[in-house]
Structure 1
């Protein structure tokens, strides 16, 4: 049985829980509690768990006795001394109210082909579950999961190397760091080309992150564990004082959350030069400040369109970014690749330089959005769609790349446009014929996305006006 088949079997069990009113995301969290115990047994690591709470203690019980034991297990493991158990089970509670449903899930998990799962990789199995959850529109989990093909492309171009500290300040389920670890492993024969000390660094310190949402942090911790990554994943808010201590990274890869802070409140950071309630602008400000100032530290960040053109503080932050960093490339992403269909996004690639002024001389832009097919579940984004961009990005002489989607803008040209980076989109011929009109559902979702973005910007303006009246 392949991991894909196992994932589908586990996912089908969610149907069992419909009568209990359990959401997809709650189901994945519930599965995490159970899969952790089963996987610890399968990998011979259940010695860290007190014997009364190991996997076999669940298999040997049924009915109300099983339900009561399971609830006590979650409570006690959340108080365990072992740090890993604490991270997985702190504040854990079951969503399952019907004992027969719990019993069926446990027996189904126990009866899966775990030999095949271990051969293919338990980490890949778990990540498959996370991806399945994100692809279900009803789960609402798309915000926590960046499509793997996009992550892999970003990691490939960022090119993390052994010995470098990589970080994701908005870690989600840890997808970027999992991919970065996989990339370095492939380059070093699964770390066997490294010394024992170097290999230990890769597993213990090379990859870390911060995640704000408790349940998502739980999923990230499990994901890292199953991929043999033991770097620190902090539960907290990067835009709070926690973020002030996150510094001197070699590589930052992230897809920070969109929107503004609740109530339009400002971030509680004392180290930011520019204050705004816009989360993406604050994350961008955090990221270029958190990189080493050695001319080699680099970042790739997924950001919505409004970051490219928003005025006021947005202009100040873009200008500061282009001063402190070499913003060398922007990838304009197609619409429909995230589960909030109307959101238009980009990837900004930049390097933190040694000085703090005039480091961006020119910006190359690749338009992977205009005149592209409509992407979604029926037409997913694949590696093939990124091939020409990767070719242009990695060319020794970018000026020799003949591709209408690939254009360059000097710093002076950008300054003349008020330091707006909403540049590089080619002529749109998608409306030249009736048969090329967009899908009405996609068009409606795009309109909703624009309205949501507009409301966010208006809230920012209202907050600015109120603050100026009070001062």
Structure 2
């Protein structure tokens, strides 16, 4: 399957309508998605038939994959007489198929239905493949993929993750699509979401946090594709009422919803919305969530109109998102959020006020200091992860500093093994060279930055006369070097 995806990306790179990893991932996505929906519908129709029932198809016959994309002859081979290509194929896809799919959102009121989700996806996506013969090639390759079995779907989800990773590694604005999966898994491991809990990401992107939370709940062993035994009611709750998120960027939203569905979550509650436009005051407990997992955007500046939605006004995006998450966390709820280093150490009025509320109303139990370069190539900002729960106020904070054995770069990224010691020690708060504990009473001006006391450099103190002699010796050496440079510039022989 991976080799087929690689072939498709090579084909799309040659198309005049495609430029960059972001665009070819978008185009592969909608085609993969329609093949997936086709196979899903065939499975459901066969299951209904076995139960003596009739399945009602979501997609009308004319727009089903095996009618417009890859019709088959009596032998199950591609029906070359009826398989469109070139301009005819483009005319159908652009003029009929996409308008049909875009209309789904307006003809169904059930926001939890797959039909509504399909409409929501195609509302923000268009076919950008300019050559109909190129599209024909891609359709034929994807048609050979089988998404009927659980193992095939699992393989598809891994391939799609790789596509999103490649798009994230492309740099630029595509960084919003991809938080390193080892970091996501570490945060999910600490927050430890359970079946029956609600899980929320206010800046969902490609839904990496929500998908990892799903895997955490659904699988005993993800790599071995070994699922946990869950009741029908638990599976329904997991599929329909567990995962929630907002994403304001159209393409990120499309990728996120599609990613969730391709991972087997048919009805994710992802809204295309700017989280910060919601007034967080007056929130009821029923509107809050058990677990919040996020890597919200930071470094942005928000307008005065947006700031009015928050008790503590600030134009710093990261401070507004932090307030939002604090207010959306249920009693006994747990949160793990990536924040820039500045949030920890800045002590201006707004930052102090938010951190005061955070320490007094929530239990900030752990701060994970991440190494520089975690988010390369699209951001070099130093970051941390704050873990807090709504179980009383903070008494002391367990800090852990991640120190990989090499400098992180685009080609040498963070690995899950780099968090191994942290995951072993954080719960019991074991002290190592990389960990320490700070009592809340020792925090000054709400500066909660991670300063590892175990990394104090040894300073050699010299007597004043020794310092004077050392300075004189250094100056003499500098004078000698300057004389040599002067002689070279004058064309004289230094050895003369």
Per the alignment, residue 351 of structure 2 pairs with 314
Q: Does 1:177 align with 2:210?
A: yes
Which among 180, 183, 187 is matched to residue 147 of structure 1? Answer: 180
Distance 1:235 1:115 in 2: 30
Three-state SS of the structure 1 residue aligned to 2:448 is: coil
Residue in 2 that maps onto 1:434: none
Partner Cα distance (1:392, 1:308) in 2: 22
| Contact 2:153/2:263 (8 A) holds in 1 | no
* CA-CA distance at 1:124 after TM superposition: 2.4
Report how many aligned residue pairs link the two structures. 409
Contact 2:201/2:292 (CA < 8 Å) preserved in 1?
A: yes
The verdict on how the C-alpha distance between 1:114 and 1:273 changes in structure 2, with shifts beyond 3 A counting, is closer
- The answer to whether the Cα contact below 8 Å between 2:370 and 2:401 also exists between their aligned partners in 1 is yes
State the 1:405 CA deviation.
1.1
Matched, 1:166 2:190: no
Distance 2:8 2:381 in 1: 31
| 1:373 counterpart = 2:401 | no
> What is the SS of the residue equivalent to 1:234?
strand
Once the two structures are superposed, what CA deviation does each residue of 1:366-423 show, in whole Å capped at 9, x if it has no partner? 1115x7521123322222111111111122xx2xx24111011111111x2x111123
Contact 2:201 2:209 in 1 (8 A): yes
Give the TM-score normalised by the residue count of structure 1. 0.81
Counterpart mapping for 1:394-405 below 5 A = 394-395=427-428, 398=429, 401-405=430-434
User: Match for residue 190 of structure 1?
Assistant: 227
What does residue 346 of structure 1 align with? 384
Change (3 A) 1:271 1:240: closer
1:218 aligns to 2:216 (yes or no): no
CA contact (8 A) 2:124 2:254 kept: no
The alpha-carbon deviation at position 203 of structure 1 amounts to: 1.3
- Work out which of the residue numbers 37, 42, 56 in structure 2 matches 1:40: 37
Indicate if the aligned counterparts of 1:298 and 1:350 stay in contact, CA closer than 8 A.
yes
Q: What residue in structure 1 maps to residue 462 of structure 2?
A: none
Q: Could you tell me how far apart the structure 2 residues matched to 1:168 and 1:259 are?
A: 19
- Indicate conservation of the 8 Å contact 2:201/2:246, yes or no: yes
2:328 corresponds to: 290
Please tell me whether residue 69 in structure 1 is matched to residue 92 in structure 2: yes
The CA deviation at 1:267 is 5.2
Conserved 8 A contact 1:22-1:95: no
Distance in 2 (CA, whole Å) between partners of 1:94 and 1:114 is 22
Cross-structure match for 1:453: none
Query: Within 2, Cα distance between the matches of 1:23 and 1:242?
Result: 37
How far apart are the structure 2 equivalents of 1:372 and 1:318?
A: 32
Residues 1:413 and 2:442 aligned together? yes
Gap regions ≥5 residues in structure 1? 430-471
User: Any conservation in 2 of the 1:239–1:267 contact (CA below 8 Å)?
Assistant: no
1:278 matched residue in structure 2 = 316
For 2:280 and 2:144, the matched residues in 1 are separated by 44
Query: Bigger shift: 4-13 or 52-61?
Result: 4-13
Post-superposition Cα deviations, 1:118-151, rounded to whole Å, max 9, x if no partner, equal 16443223222212211223x6412221111111
Judged with a 3 Å threshold, the aligned counterparts in structure 2 of structure 1 residues 49 and 428 are, in CA distance, closer, same or farther, namely farther
Aligned 8 A contact 2:18 2:24 in 1? no
Shift of 1:99: 2.4
SS in structure 2 at match of 1:95: coil
Give the corresponding residue for 2:163: 129
Q: CA RMSD in A?
A: 2.5
Paired residue secondary structure (2:297): coil
Partners of 1:111 and 1:181 lie apart in 2 by: 28
Q: What's 1:55 paired with?
A: 65
- Please, which moves more after superposition, 252-261 or 95-104? 95-104
Cα distance in structure 1, aligned partners of 2:385 and 2:194: 21
What residue is the counterpart of 2:238 in the other structure? Answer: 202
TM-score, normalization by structure 2 = 0.77
Deviation at residue 113 of structure 1 after TM alignment = 6.4
Confirm or deny: 8 A CA contact 1:326 1:351 kept in the other structure: yes
For residue 228 of structure 1, what is the aligned residue in structure 2?
Answer: 264
Compared CA separation, residues 256 and 144, structure 1 to 2 (3 A): same
Report the Cα distance in structure 1 between the residues aligned to 2:366 and 2:210, rounded to whole angstroms.
21
Decide whether the 8 Å contact of 2:176 with 2:252 is kept in 1.
no
Uncovered stretches (5+) of structure 2, i.e. residues with no partner = 45-56, 71-82, 108-114, 458-496
Separation of aligned partners in 1, 2:146 and 2:196: 37
Query: How has the CA–CA distance of structure 1 residues 203 and 30 changed in structure 2, closer, same or farther, with 3 Å as cutoff?
Result: same
Verify the 8 A CA contact 1:308 1:422 in the aligned structure 2: yes
Task: Tell me the equivalent position of 1:105.
Answer: 138
